[in-house]
Amino acid sequence: MLENFRVFVNGGSETWHLEWSAPNPVLMLALGLVVGLVAYFLGCFNGAVIVSKYIFKDDIRAHGSGNAGLTNFHRTFGGGLTLVVILLDVVKAVLAVWFGQLAIWLVGWPGLDVLAKYWAGLFCLLGHMFPCMFGFRGGKGILSGGTIAIMIDWRIALVVWGGFLILAALTRYVSLGSCWAGVSFPFASWFVFRDPLILVLAVAIGGLIVWKHRGNIQRILKGEERKFSLHHKEKT
């Protein structure tokens, strides 16, 4: 994954050989910092918080589970603005991953394209979960994380989204499907890419999602987790 190769021709003969050259470590570190910061700040634009605070003038984090996520927003406010929340959380993830890819291509390291997707995706999720502009209280990253999975590879997205939709539909526990997404993401990433560095980033992404759902897991085990209803809106 980290290898770049240059091709040389020996004079006018047909002899070809490959010479390995590693990316400049200083440039690579600087690029990683820039991509990470941009992706993080894009992630901070939490759709549920923005819509509830600046349109409804009523912070979603003061209602229901207190989570700044799509499920809690729908339960609390319902209505068509749920689509705006979805759009914001999807678009920011797309922009973060695209920025990571663009940065890699601009410096001439196309071989690091997949690594850039994971790196940007990780920091976008960190921004979504811990937004500096909203007191570091964000969402659990499922919608943005699912978008990142789609941007990385369709096979990974199929595993993550397929299991999520099946579990959520059968049990009506969105959190259970979300836990599947977090746990399955590293396994699917390893199956597709077989790269140790990619696996580390995938474990970090999946681990963050599972960790953010630790309360949901406890409530499921106690039989206290609330089930999702598409048409249900909580009374405030």
CA-based end-to-end distance of the chain: 51
Is 189 contained in some domain? Answer: yes
Determine contact, residues 192/155, Cβ cutoff 8 Å.
Answer: yes
Residue 46 is assigned to a structural domain of this protein? yes
How many separate domains does the chain show?
1
- Asked, for residue 7, whether it belongs to a domain, the answer is no
- Say if 19 falls within a structural domain: no
Tens-digit pLDDT profile for the chain (236 aa)? 544 444 444 554 444 444 445 578 888 899 999 999 999 999 999 999 999 999 888 889 988 878 888 888 888 887 788 899 999 999 999 999 999 999 999 988 888 999 999 999 999 999 999 999 999 999 999 999 999 999 999 999 999 999 999 998 998 888 899 999 999 999 999 999 999 999 999 999 999 999 999 988 888 888 878 777 655 454 43
- 228 falls within a domain: no
Is 1 part of a structural domain of the chain? Answer: no
Cα separation, 212 vs 122, in Å, equals: 14
- DSSP type of residue 20: E
| Number of Cβ atoms within 10 Å of the Cβ of 76 | 20
Q: Which residues pair with 21 in a beta bridge?
A: 4
Domain membership of residue 180 as a residue range? 25-222
In this structure, is residue 18 part of a structural domain?
no
Quick check: 134 and 44 in contact, CB under 8 A?
A: yes
Q: Could you give the 3-state DSSP secondary structure of residue 141?
A: coil
On whether the CB atoms of residues 166 and 77 are closer than 8 A, the answer is: no
Q: Is residue 14 part of a domain?
A: no
What is the pTM for the complete model shown? Answer: 0.84
